[in-house]
Structure formats: C-alpha cells, structure tokens
Amino acid sequence: MISLSSVSRTFSGRSGTVEALRDIDLTVADGEFVAVLGRSGCGKSTLLRLIAGLLPTTGGEITVSGERITKPRRDIAMMFQKPALLPWRTVLDNVLLPVQIFGWKKAEHRARADELLALTGLTGFEKRLPHELSGGMQQRVALCRSLIANPRVMLMDEPFSALDALTREELSGELQRVHMELGTTIVFVTHSIDEAVLLADRVVVLSPRPGRIRQVLDIDIPRPRTLGRGAHLEDVARSSAELHELLMA
C-alpha cells in the first residue's frame, strides 16, 4: 500500500541547512495501523507531509498503491492537531465540506455522513455549530470529515494532543473501533507511548534529528485494547515499557 524507499528530506534557509529525515525505508500494508513515535523535532510530521504529497522528498521515493507521490491525492486524507472546523457551518455541513470542494453531489454522500456520525457517537448533533461542541466532539467531526471521501490512506498528525488525558483515551477507543470497522490504512504520529500501544499494529520509533528508523516494534495484542484492567493488561504494559526504553536510549 505505502512504500518509502531511502526517503530523505532537508530544509534550507537563511540560518543554514536542517536535515529532518535520512534514509527512511518503510512499508505499510493495506489496512494496517502504523504509529510513528519519537522525540520533538525528529521529523514525524515531516514524514506525514511527504506521504501526503504536501512536501517533495529531497531523496528517495514514496509510492501509494504503486503510484509515485508527487502531489496531494484525493484518496489520501490528513487530519491535524486542531480540528479546523468552519465556525459558521453545522456539524453535518463541516463533514460534507470535501464533497463541496470536489464538486460531488451532496445527496449521494448524505447517507455516508450519517453513517460516520453514528459511528463516532455524533448522531443528534448534525445541526450544532462547532462552538457548541467540546474539543473531543470537534475532533470527532474532523475525523468524519476526513473519512467522508472513503480515503484509502488516513494520515493523522497528533490529532488528540490538545485534549485532556481522559478525552484522549476515549477518542483512542473510538478510533480503534472506526479502524476495526472500516479497515482504512492509517499512519498516526504521536508523542504518546500509550496512544501508540493502544492503537497500532506496529510502532515506528524514530531517532533524534535527522530522523531515522531506530526500530519497528510489533504490537501483537488483540483488540479492543485498554490501559485499564483487562485481559491483556500485562501485554500492554510490556509493550509500553519496551517503547519507553527505546525512546530513552
């Protein structure tokens, strides 16, 4: 599905040259959930922007479904830290915004919007405006908006980082459920070890700048997962401890 071969990215400016990423080799399978974890400044967000086609690579090549990425594509959606909802549009109209942008028929996507709102617990809030929603609910709307076009790939750049701990855990559970139901291929950037263990099939640990793949850890724990008491508590704790050691090394 997603293939990165010897991908590097360097930024040049008045203050000099910064090597953000160096020789990244990674393959993400169809329907896989991969988390990218590392310290601030290691190139995690840059990596997502390269996959999205928002930035060109300095070296190497990125392909999705065998096609080289040179610009943004409709089948690749991206979700950012802030929901960036249009304040004058209702929940439903925010979800349907990509439909309007792409010039599609709204009536043909209304059922899909209702389905996504139900999937994320937002049924009954279709006519609310963003300021009437909590931060967590706003991010749910942003998630629905990202999924409305049935993207093959979802890129998520720390989408829960601005939320309180309980809301983050709640939304992690929602995202698990959405992924299990829809099977979208997801690359998820995070600073949080807990989020990575709860959500990912594999966790890619990046080194400090220039970002290189230090290790890829398989998270072979049945879903749904939780940080609380459960059948897989020891496995979750073991994976969290291993990631902690890798980041501290």
**The domain spanning residue 204 has which CATH number?**
3.40.50.300
Q: Is residue 136 part of a domain?
A: no
In a domain, 114, yes or no: no
In this predicted structure, what is the pLDDT of residue 53?
A: 95
Note down the domain range covering 5. 1-31+42-72+187-249
By the 8 A CB rule, do 225 and 237 touch? no
Question: pLDDT of 91-101, one tens digit each?
Answer: 999 999 999 88
* Cβ–Cβ under 8 Å, residues 109 and 99: yes
> What pLDDT score does 49 carry?
96
| 214 within some domain | yes
| Residue 131 in domain | no
Model's pTM, two decimal places?
0.93
Q: Over the stretch 163-197, which tens digit does the pLDDT of each residue have?
A: 888 888 888 888 988 898 889 999 999 989 989 99
Q: How many domains does the chain have?
A: 1
For residue 204, being part of any structural domain is answered with yes
The verdict on residue 64 lying in a domain is yes
From the number of C-beta atoms within 10 Å of its C-beta (0-12, 13-18, 19+), residue 178 rates as buried
Whether 135 is in a domain gets the answer: no
Residue 249 lies in a domain: yes
How confident is the model over 9-57, as pLDDT tens digits?
A: 999 878 789 999 999 999 999 999 999 999 988 999 999 999 999 999 9
At 127 the pLDDT is: 96
Q: How many CA atoms lie within 13 A of 93 on its CB side?
A: 9
Which run of H or of E encompasses 112?
Answer: helix 106-119
Tens digits of per-residue pLDDT, 224-247? 888 776 668 888 889 999 999 998
Residues 143 and 137: their CA atoms lie apart, in Å, by 10
